[in-house]
A and B are shown apart, each in its own frame.
Chain A
Amino acid sequence: MEREARFKNWRKEGVAYLFLSPYILLFVIFIVLPVVLAILLSFTNFNAVQFPGWVGVKNYVDLITRDDVFMQYVLPNTFKFALIAGPVGYILSFLLAWMLAQIQKGPRTILALLLYSPSLTAGTAMSVVWTTLFNGDQSGYLNSLLMRFDLIQQPIQWLQSPQYLMPIMIIVTIWGSMGIGFLAMLAGVLNINSELYEAGYIDGISNRFQEIIYITIPSMKPQMLFGAVMAVVSTFQAGAIGVQLSGTNPTPAYAGQLIVNHIEDYGFIRYEMGYASAISVILLIFIWFSSKFVWKIFGEKE
């Protein structure tokens, strides 16, 4: 009897699963499987050549207790980088999106494209531009400019000196952060019903700032959330930038070493894939918690 009911149920819902199956299949193959594999590998000593052997939680213990570089440089760097580049890029995205929404369509489209293009251009092309600017030779633009105005005597090693690398990484990242989140926010601002503003003014809103706080932001919460999640994920995942700017992994004196660089370091330079997987699991956990946090702030509370 129960069996029959189950069968009936299945017949009823089976079609739904059928329609879902393409997505589920792709999601499992490209998302679930790699994640599960990474988690599994993180408990092994896989070295990319030989068959992996089980080592239990050793990798995690090592990461917390033995990995000086991780604790001393990588974690602080990653948080510094994420906490500055993420929010600043995010706020900037919103402000620029809002400002663009105030002007006519023609120039808006052009400006939006211009702002969006840095995030489109491949990282390499981008760092070619920036490495020329910050070149440590006297032929680097910045050095050449400073020397011409007699502000410095010797060229500064912008990209090799530990104290300059991180700020430059942050600047370059912010420059390129008007990405998909920015476009979503632009769409969000444009989609707000203008009657809301009129109603707001009748109800006593007196300036643009109040407009933003009371109408614009509440009306585009989904886009704000999307932008924030994208910003968090992309800043945690950023890693290429420091390596591209300085030209090496590890970055000079680990000054620009982020988690992703650390993963690459272990995975492809030291051939310790198991350990690298453990770090990427930690990274996954970081991202997951930060997204939770962002949801808390911007998510719809029903």
Chain B
Amino acid sequence: MAHLRGKVKFNWLVVIFVLLATVTPGAAEKGNSVSQIEGQNSTTLSEWANQGYDIIPGVEQKLTPNLFHTTGGTLLSGLEERKGYDHVVLRLNAGDSFEVDYSAPAKGLYTFYFDYYLLDSGLSPNQYRVEINGSLPNAQIGRVDLLASWQNETYPFPRDRYGNEVIPTQKKMDQWQTGMLTDPVRLETQPLAIPLEAGKNHIKVTLMSGSILSGDMTISSVEMPVPYNEYRKSAPDTATPAFLWVHEAEETYYKNDNTINPVVNRALEARPYDTNRLLLNTLGGTTWKQSGQAVYYEVEVPHDGNYQIGIKYSQDLKPNSVVFRTFTIDGKVPFREMGSYPFSYQSGWKTEILSGPEGAYQFHLTKGKHLIGIIADASPYRGTIETLKRAMGQINDLTLQIRKLVGPEVDALRDFTITDNLPNLQSDLLKLANDLQKEYEKAVQLNSGQANSQGIITLETAIRSLKNLAAEPNKIPQRLSQLNEGTGSVTQSISLAMQEFQNQPLLIDQIYLFTPGEKLPDYGTTILQQWTEGFKRFFHSFFPVQKMEGEDSKTIQVWVNRPRNYIDLMQRKADEEFTPKTGIKVNFTMMPNEQRLILANASGTAPDIALGISNWLPYELGVRGAALDLNQFPDFKERTADFSPGAFLPFIVNDQVYAMPETQDFYVLFYRKDILNSLKLPIPDTWQDVKELLPEMQRYGMSFYIPLAGSGGMKPLMSTSPFIYQSGGDLYADHAFKAGLDSEKSLSGIRLMTELFTLYGLPMQVPNFFEHFRDGTIPMGVSNFATYVQLQIAAPELDGEWGIALSPGIRQNGETVRWQTGSAQAAMIFKSTKHPEASWEFLKWWESRETQSSFGIQMQSLYGKEYMWNTANLKAFQDLPWPEEDKKVILEQWKWLREVPKTPGSYYIERELSNIWTHVVLDGKNLRATVEDSVNVMNKEIARKMEEFGYLKNGKVVRPYRVPTLEEVESWVRR
């Protein structure tokens, strides 16, 4: 029954293996590239002990940079250059390394830390790699993070004009920091240990990304925190004068991740409280859930003595779950119990005084400043997560073996007896279920005996289905999707459970440091208070929102089609940077629906400027006389130098230009490095290459994606026009008075875009390319910015396993022509504006390199990678904290950016082109005949529209129409 097909089969297996292996979600949600080391478990101290490496106490050896042998790095000694460090430092860029020899007093375990100073923005990860005596003794030290420290630029928080607090700009602290050997997924509370031999050891540190200054390296002993009773005994039991320190949690001293944000909590119990305004009065929540994210608070302690710590918290984001936090004092975990301290599920607000079975913990603090750190912590689940990961690997192997036996297409009606070939199948599955059962019990115990948290329930489901599958092993071939890959499959449940265990969200409001017996602030509320507050808010909602400052007629009104948090930052930037410089006040308003612009224009209430609007709208408004011609400003043309010429095409009507591009999309080729490598597939350069790759990919059940498959019934021009432009055709003929689809060149483009489906079998409908790309069924495809961001943030398991390349094109005259569109959002000024000069002034400021790049950086530092800003200003784009290699590809693709110029009848060409695709691909009609019919219809509609706009009268051209060309835009300014 197992029919093997020799070599082909072998390739096939590799693919499946890769496929399955990559479904595994990564441990870290953070953008660290951890996948290389993911499969391997960390080596525990006891395992090291078995190999003869014990902790060597009492070591503290400082090694200064002048002892380092560096490759690529430079020693700096100037005071300015060493940023205040007290002696010579070593500057390292990505790829540089230094080596140092250390003679250890004995064979055993050590750790090290070194001083560093980040030279770049800190937004993209800085990582280094450590090799000991030429090898990696512990896979985790292959990628160690150098974190930045982030501070709020202002506290108290800035307010918007309605009196609501907004998240302040995050700034990186320019300071020397100490980098411990932390594990990349941050599942360990302690620094990693490295094994050293007695005598000379060779340590090599390579910086993998970013650029830093490196100071002293210190080799030290691994220090384990003592248990509380020992800690307590060692601290003197002095009488401490009464002290109470109440601190708002949102006022952090610094944090190691810029995306831990203050959040608005409107509960009556939260402090500070305001009935009507939105205050950022609490910290964390969903923004503080990844293991390793830390916040630090500084406290001035008045006397030596013993203090207690209290945290006012709420944990309603993970129902029925216990979450963990590790506490440090001055960078060290004071005693063992402070590692992974549990916080129980709590839907309201509650004060937790850190305490153990014998009562509240006493922290011994000396007089002076101390730093309290609170670190999100999933380390209690480390073992569970590792077991789950291993289980997924085993299931993948099993699936592979079964696939090997039964082939890719399983006949539903056939009876298999795979137990002949896989006699251990049943016992393997049961053993797996058993292993998971043990982890389940551990997890329940960690969750203080409650078995009703999301993660635990999902794990239970996985165990149950495993047992079900094991009961009838010969039915498994037909039920393979229940084991692997399918929705609700065992592997999916396991990976869900894993993610659940990793998430540790906690919302905190206040921190207390106090001497025993102090009374903590009371925040209980009565029902009466709640009703009164509710009534007050309800009453308040009938009044217009009070603005902080009066508005006069000199203010420019800007409507923005973007979410609130964009507008908050835009307003702040304009108030801080633009208004002081020019004296022009700007008022931003959120516009949820851009159709409102047309209605507003009809009723005479249009704003001065609209931002974030679709790129077709300026033309529609412009051609009907509602948009201001930007070309009338003498400095307009020079302002276009920073932009892609092709992006202006849709905004031009004859000599008028009605908008500027604001953001820009890119269509590039996404590919899975792992799958391509194992299949030995090249990255396609042309569509011909894609066609040649397809049979090979399809043999493994894989396919290729193009945006045509992603859109629904209507195939927009952005997905159809590239084929026509790439093959040298044009959508228009006869100065846009005719459609140009029936030219031979255009026809060959249309043929390509239909044949890919009819002859080469691309999937016609792929509603979610991202998911298919993730699970490996479509490992390659042309897609855009949205997919890029999704892959950046929502596919941690693929970190480092995917890449982008230039879009496939068509070879012409020895060059690959890769035209793609880049429709995104535009900015325009209305003709009805009373302040055209001021509006243009504003637009120039907003579209400038400085504003765009700082806006992009600030958005990303405030809200994380979800808010990557794809500015259309190419110069600004270069400044953004995106991965350098991706920026290079995108900028190169943008050289091939060509939007479709709009004409009065262009929407009809879009529509008929889509109909041609539908008729040819879905109805199987003849291409040439369909195109001819369509062109007739198009020409008729174009003539009608041209007549409407007065270019045509009774079939005669009365006014010429000029279709803008790339060359024309390029000629505006020297680039």
Contact = CB atoms under 8 A, between A and B. Distances in A.
B765 A68 contact: no
A49 B714 contact: no
A159 B923 CA distance: 13
Interface string B364-392: 00000000000000000000000000000
A62 B412 CA distance: 58
A71 interface: no
Interface in B732-781: 763-767
Given A160-B712, A252-B713, A48 B602 contact: yes
Contacts of A45: 948
B944 A252 contact: no
A45 B621 CA distance: 16
B918 interface: yes
B595 A268 contact: yes
Nearest to A48: B598
B918 A253 contact: yes
A49 B944 CA distance: 19
Nearest to B598: A48
A248 B919 CA distance: 16
Most buried by B among A248, A249, A272: A248
Nearest to B768: A137
B940 A68 contact: yes
B620 to A, nearest CB: 6
Nearest to A271: B620
B743 to A, nearest CB: 23
Interface in B899-958: 907, 911, 914-915, 918-919, 922-923, 937, 940, 944-945, 948
A285 to B, nearest CB: 24
B624 A246 contact: no
Nearest to A269: B907
A137 B767 contact: yes
Contacts of B766: 137
Given A137-B767, A250-B911, A161 B922 contact: yes
Tell me which of A66, A161, A249 has the highest count of chain B C-beta atoms within 10 A of its own C-beta: A161
Given A160-B712, A246-B712, A136 B624 contact: no
A157 interface: yes
B713 A270 contact: no
A49 B623 CA distance: 10
Contacts of A68: 937, 940
B156 interface: no
A167 interface: no
Interface string A268-298: 1111100000000000000000000000000
A47 B712 contact: no
A49 B601 contact: yes
Contact of B602 (A49, A135, A160, A246): A49
B625 interface: yes
A248 B716 CA distance: 10
Interface string A132-160: 00011100000000001010000101011
A48 B922 CA distance: 36
A154 to B, nearest CB: 9
A143 B25 CA distance: 29
B412 A150 contact: yes
Interface string A101-140: 0000000000000000000000000000000000111000
Nearest to A245: B713
A251 interface: yes
A157 B624 contact: no
A222 interface: no
B944 A66 contact: yes
Please report whether the interface of chain B is mostly helix, strand, loop or mixed according to DSSP.
Answer: helix
B907 A270 contact: yes
A57 B918 CA distance: 35
Interface in A237-253: 246-253
Interface residues of B, number: 32
A136 B764 contact: yes
Contacts of A254: 915
Given A66-B944, A135-B767, A160 B922 contact: yes
A253 B915 contact: yes
Contact of B714 (A137, A163, A252): A252
B398 to A, nearest CB: 23
A112 B945 CA distance: 51
Nearest to A160: B713
Contacts of B918: 160-162, 252-253
A47 B713 contact: no
B626 interface: yes
Contacts of A137: 763, 765-767
A157 B625 contact: no
Nearest to B767: A137
A206 interface: no
Contacts of A150: 412
Contact of B713 (A48, A251, A269): A251
A162 B915 CA distance: 10
Interface in A20-73: 45, 47-50, 62, 66, 68
Contacts of B602: 48-49
Interface string A247-263: 11111111000000000
A74 B963 CA distance: 32
Contact of A252 (B621, B914, B945): B914
Nearest to A251: B713
Given A247-B713, A248-B713, A252-B914, A157 B948 contact: no
Given A66-B944, A136-B764, A157-B764, A49 B713 contact: no
Given A159-B713, A160-B713, A251-B713, A49 B621 contact: yes
A204 B695 CA distance: 76
B620 A155 contact: no
A66 B621 CA distance: 26
B615 to A, nearest CB: 16
A66 B915 CA distance: 20
A200 B525 CA distance: 70
A281 B625 CA distance: 28
B923 A271 contact: no
Which of A45, A157, A254, A272 is packed against the most chain B CB atoms within 10 Å? A157
A252 B765 contact: no
Nearest to A252: B713
A253 B598 contact: no
A240 to B, nearest CB: 14
Contacts of B914: 252
A252 B620 contact: no
A81 B767 CA distance: 28
A160 B914 CA distance: 11
Nearest to A273: B602
A47 B624 contact: yes
B626 A49 contact: yes
B650 to A, nearest CB: 16
Given A136-B764, A270-B945, 12 more contacts: A47-B624, A48-B599, A48-B602, A137-B766, A137-B767, A148-B412, A157-B765, A163-B923, A247-B713, A253-B918, A254-B915, A268-B595
The 4 closest A-B pairs by CB, nearest first: A247-B712, A248-B714, A136-B765, A246-B713
17 contacts: A47-B948, A48-B624, A49-B626, A62-B944, A68-B937, A135-B767, A136-B765, A137-B765, A148-B412, A247-B713, A247-B714, A248-B713, A252-B915, A252-B918, A268-B595, A270-B945, A271-B598
